[in-house]
């Protein structure tokens, strides 16, 4: 195996695109998107100009958490297709210069995974130590017999479920049907090396690593400390608890150093992109190691920043100040777990969405779009009885709102499925925002997004360019990104800004491109002369 590859890597300056497979395109009229549907959409993605796609989980799963409860790491979910379909997808995407990145879930398996079924058969079983087992807390009466510590799962319930047969509890940071793997067990590490090789050998371009900040837990099972109510958020902790001992443990980094050596042994190097759900920039930066751990680490403080010049530029500045030299930031504003940015940041306003796209596309590093971002697709209200995500169905911020079918055209089936088929989640307002209509219209958000992607590729491709914030009036964010100068007005009023000093390249709309004024929520890009 080669030593760590240095120098340009294919994801630097690239545009990646997340596909929630079940909602992309349904080719067998069952209401769910599938892998042949992903293949059918490749020409569109090539036209749009993306360099790689990340597919939400494709492995067999009982779907308690829609694929994030894996039953077999080496297969394809029968609802989505077959291994042959996956091979075909990798080949056909490759012909169009598009890499296929899969979702890997190493923090936990499904309770239906054969490892867990065996582990549950008793303390002496071959796979018992693949999972985290602990005895009930000792003590008399109410104090005794309960969970081993105070850790909570993703729903706020105890992160421990009692296995009646053995009288021990098992750990689950998410649902009880998602038992946590025990990364202290060397055989778990070896299993995952094999899983990585299996898919890399098949030609997958890399992995998005689910719950990358998870994996290890404190062996002493110390209680997590309380979190001040004002800090209670999806970033710092939830349910009044800071997950100090149940996540983001130092031992995790060694796993990524190991995987990085493995991924860099391939040509081209395979991408390791972590779902690093951490609040502070030092912790985020730590997942890059000394350019020997993850290649990209998702930036949740950016995603959750307010949509204003001060907040966003502040997060960008902090991020870049903390990342080790040579590290490649990755910017994303939507995904399958949070409200879409055209809703969360932009209140459905298409002008604001265009500004957000312009900014996202001109920051140094990698860009990850979520399917539908390019047509300003918004969240879709899903009535309670139609919600499919068990983990959040009763929450105000239920995740199904951001997982509805891609809006391909204005027809009753949205171009997603066959006429008359009920989609697994309801369609949004596909009459007002869809791919077909926006492809026809030169000035559409889709065309703007495509032009931005082409500009990125031409100017940023294969490198991480330098960034510098430039002086600007309040509410305006101006910056230099490589050879580009970007001016973005995050206010409701026109602002006076210096006219573009170099060649005007692209703007949110034709009138924003020139002159000494920039309209409300408008932005423009020039090339330094
Ligand atoms: C990640 C996924 C999310 C899933 C969770 C548990 O956060 O993005 O969808 O529910 O991990 O696997």
Mutate to test the pocket of ligand 1, among 61, 65, 238, 332 (most ligand atoms within 8 A of CB): 65
Residue 470 in contact with residue 376, Cβ under 8 Å?
A: no
Q: How far is the CA of 370 from the centre of ligand 1 (A)?
A: 15
How many other CB atoms sit within 10 Å of the CB of residue 141? 6
* Alpha carbons 130 and 351: distance in angstroms, whole number: 51
Structure tokens at 235: 């970033």
* Ligand 1 nearest-atom number relative to CA 335: 8
* Alpha carbons 53 and 512: distance in angstroms, whole number: 31
Q: How many CA atoms lie within 13 A of 19 on its CB side?
A: 27
pTM of the model: 0.97
How many other CB atoms sit within 10 Å of the CB of residue 459? 18
Active site residue ranges:
210, 275
449-454 own/partner pairs: CB under 8 Å, 24+ apart: 449/48, 449/357, 449/361, 449/369, 449/373, 449/374, 450/47, 450/48, 450/49, 450/374, 451/506, 452/357, 452/358, 452/361, 452/362, 452/506, 453/15, 453/48, 453/49, 453/50, 453/361, 454/49
pLDDT at res. 196: 98
pLDDT at res. 498: 79
| Mean pLDDT to the nearest integer, 50-69 | 98
* DSSP β-bridge partners for residue 481: 467, 484
Above 80 in pLDDT, residue 456? yes
Residue 211 CB–ligand 1 contact under 6 Å? yes
How many other CB atoms sit within 10 Å of the CB of residue 74? 13
Q: How far is the CA of 59 from the centre of ligand 1 (A)?
A: 14
Structure tokens at 266: 């391939």
Torsion angles phi and psi, residue 455, rounded to 5: -65, -45
* Alpha carbons 354 and 504: distance in angstroms, whole number: 17
Residue 115 CB–ligand 1 contact under 6 Å? no
Interval 464-522: pLDDT, tens: 999 999 999 999 999 999 999 999 999 999 999 876 678 889 999 987 766 788 999 99
Q: How far is the CA of 238 from the centre of ligand 1 (A)?
A: 15
* Alpha carbons 492 and 502: distance in angstroms, whole number: 26
| Percent residues over pLDDT 90 in the chain | 92
Residue 68 CB–ligand 1 contact under 6 Å? yes
| Mean pLDDT to the nearest integer, 450-463 | 97
Distance (Å) of CA 480 to CA 143, 471, 477, 483 = 60, 11, 10, 7
Q: How far is the CA of 210 from the centre of ligand 1 (A)?
A: 6
Dump strand ranges (E) for 26-92: 52-55
* Ligand 1 nearest-atom number relative to CA 173: 6
Residue 70 CB–ligand 1 contact under 6 Å? no
Q: How far is the CA of 257 from the centre of ligand 1 (A)?
A: 23
Structure tokens at 471: 């002086």
3-state secondary structure of 115: helix
Residue 65 CB–ligand 1 contact under 6 Å? yes
pLDDT at res. 210: 98
- Closest C-alpha residue for ligand 1 atom 3: 337
**Among 109, 290, 316, residue whose Cα is nearest residue 214:** 109
Torsion angles phi and psi, residue 86, rounded to 5: -65, -45
Residue 173 in contact with residue 71, Cβ under 8 Å?
A: no
* Ligand 1 nearest-atom number relative to CA 391: 10
pLDDT at res. 502: 84
* Alpha carbons 303 and 281: distance in angstroms, whole number: 13
Mutate to test the pocket of ligand 1, among 71, 178, 210, 401 (most ligand atoms within 8 A of CB): 210
| Mean pLDDT to the nearest integer, 405-422 | 98
| Mean pLDDT to the nearest integer, 71-90 | 98
CB neighbour class for 491 (10 Å; exposed up to 12, middle 13-18, buried from 19): middle
* Alpha carbons 249 and 245: distance in angstroms, whole number: 7
Distance (Å) of CA 107 to CA 41, 255, 273, 390 = 31, 12, 15, 19
Dump strand ranges (E) for 213-317: 271-274, 296-297
Residue 103 CB–ligand 1 contact under 6 Å? no
Q: For the chain, what percentages of helix, strand and coil (3-state, to nearest 5) are there?
A: 30, 15, 55
Residue 105 CB–ligand 1 contact under 6 Å? yes
* Alpha carbons 176 and 174: distance in angstroms, whole number: 7
Predicted confidence band at 64 (pLDDT cuts at 50, 70, 90)? very high
Residue 356 CB–ligand 1 contact under 6 Å? no
Above 60 in pLDDT, residue 4? no
pLDDT at res. 471: 94
Residue 66 CB–ligand 1 contact under 6 Å? no
Q: How far is the CA of 391 from the centre of ligand 1 (A)?
A: 10
Q: How far is the CA of 66 from the centre of ligand 1 (A)?
A: 9
What is the DSSP secondary structure assignment for residue 22, as one 8-state letter?
G
Q: How far is the CA of 435 from the centre of ligand 1 (A)?
A: 28
Q: How far is the CA of 466 from the centre of ligand 1 (A)?
A: 33
Residue 527 in contact with residue 510, Cβ under 8 Å?
A: no
Q: How far is the CA of 273 from the centre of ligand 1 (A)?
A: 14
Residue 210 CB–ligand 1 contact under 6 Å? yes
pLDDT at res. 6: 54
- Closest C-alpha residue for ligand 1 atom 6: 68
Above 90 in pLDDT, residue 194? yes
Mutate to test the pocket of ligand 1, among 153, 211, 247 (most ligand atoms within 8 A of CB): 211
Interval 125-177: pLDDT, tens: 999 999 999 999 987 776 678 999 999 999 999 999 999 999 999 999 999 99
* Alpha carbons 158 and 154: distance in angstroms, whole number: 9
Mutate to test the pocket of ligand 1, among 68, 173, 275, 390 (most ligand atoms within 8 A of CB): 68
Interval 323-367: pLDDT, tens: 998 899 999 999 999 999 999 999 999 999 999 999 999 999 999
Residue 54 CB–ligand 1 contact under 6 Å? no
* Ligand 1 nearest-atom number relative to CA 68: 12
Residue 337 CB–ligand 1 contact under 6 Å? yes
Residue 402 CB–ligand 1 contact under 6 Å? no
| Mean pLDDT to the nearest integer, 6-34 | 94
Residue 64 CB–ligand 1 contact under 6 Å? no
Above 60 in pLDDT, residue 3? no
pLDDT at res. 515: 77
Above 80 in pLDDT, residue 119? yes
* Ligand 1 nearest-atom number relative to CA 174: 6
CB neighbour class for 84 (10 Å; exposed up to 12, middle 13-18, buried from 19): exposed
pLDDT at res. 140: 73
* Alpha helices (runs of H) in 49-113, residue ranges in sequence order: 83-95
Above 50 in pLDDT, residue 1? no
3-state secondary structure of 386: helix
pLDDT at res. 138: 85
């Amino acid at each position: 195996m080669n030593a760590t590859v240095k120098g340009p890597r294919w994801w630097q300056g690239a545009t990646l695109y997340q596909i929630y497979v079940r909602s992309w395109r349904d080719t067998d009229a069952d209401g769910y998107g599938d892998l042949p549907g992903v293949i059918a959409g490749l020409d569109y993605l090539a036209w749009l100009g993306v360099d790689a796609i990340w597919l939400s989980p494709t492995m067999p799963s009982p779907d308690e958490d829609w694929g994030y409860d894996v039953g077999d790491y080496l297969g394809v979910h029968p609802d989505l297709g077959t291994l042959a379909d996956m091979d075909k997808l990798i080949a056909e995407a490759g012909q169009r210069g598009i890499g296929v990145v899969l979702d890997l879930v190493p923090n936990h398996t499904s309770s239906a995974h054969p490892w867990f079924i065996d582990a549950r058969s008793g303390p002496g079983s071959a796979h018992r130590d693949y999972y985290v087992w602990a005895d009930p807390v000792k003590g008399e009466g109410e104090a005794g017999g309960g969970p081993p510590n105070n850790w909570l799962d993703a729903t706020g319930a105890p992160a421990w479920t009692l296995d009646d047969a053995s009288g021990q509890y098992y750990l689950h940071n998410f649902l009880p049907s998602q038992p946590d793997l025990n990364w202290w067990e060397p055989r778990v590490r070896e299993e995952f090396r094999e899983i990585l090789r299996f898919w890399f050998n098949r030609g997958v371009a890399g992995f998005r690593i689910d719950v990358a900040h998870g994996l290890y837990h404190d062996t002493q099972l110390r209680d997590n400390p309380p979190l001040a109510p004002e800090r209670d958020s999806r970033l710092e902790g939830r349910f009044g608890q800071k997950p100090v001992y149940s996540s983001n443990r130092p031992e995790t980094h060694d796993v990524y150093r190991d995987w990085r050596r493995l991924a860099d042994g391939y040509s081209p190097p395979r991408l390791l992109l972590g779902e690093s759900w951490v609040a502070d920039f030092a912790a985020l930066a730590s997942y890059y190691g000394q350019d020997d751990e993850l290649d990209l680490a998702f930036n949740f403080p950016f995603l959750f920043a307010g949509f204003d010049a001060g907040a966003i530029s502040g997060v960008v500045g902090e991020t870049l100040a903390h990342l080790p030299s040579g590290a490649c930031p990755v910017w994303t504003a939507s995904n399958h777990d949070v409200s879409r940015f055209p809703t969360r940041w932009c209140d459905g306003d298409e002008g604001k969405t265009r500004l957000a796209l312009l900014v996202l596309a001109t920051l140094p590093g990698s860009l990850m779009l979520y399917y539908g971002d390019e047509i300003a697709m918004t969240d879709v209200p899903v009535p309670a009885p139609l919600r499919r995500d068990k983990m959040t169905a009763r929450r105000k911020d239920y995740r199904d709102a951001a997982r509805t079918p891609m809006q391909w055209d204005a027809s009753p089936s949205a171009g997603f499925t066959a006429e008359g088929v009920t989609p697994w989640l309801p369609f949004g307002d596909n009459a007002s925002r869809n791919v077909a209509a926006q492809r026809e219209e030169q000035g559409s958000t889709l065309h703007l997004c495509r032009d931005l992607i082409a500009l990125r590729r031409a100017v940023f491709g294969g490198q991480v360019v330098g960034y510098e914030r430039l002086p600007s009036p309040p509410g305006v964010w101006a910056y230099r990104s490589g050879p580009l100068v970007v001016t973005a007005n995050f206010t409701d009023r026109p602002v006076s800004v210096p006219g573009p000093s170099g060649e005007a390249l692209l703007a949110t709309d034709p009138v924003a491109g020139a002159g000494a004024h920039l309209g409300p929520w408008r932005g423009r890009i020039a090339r330094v002369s």
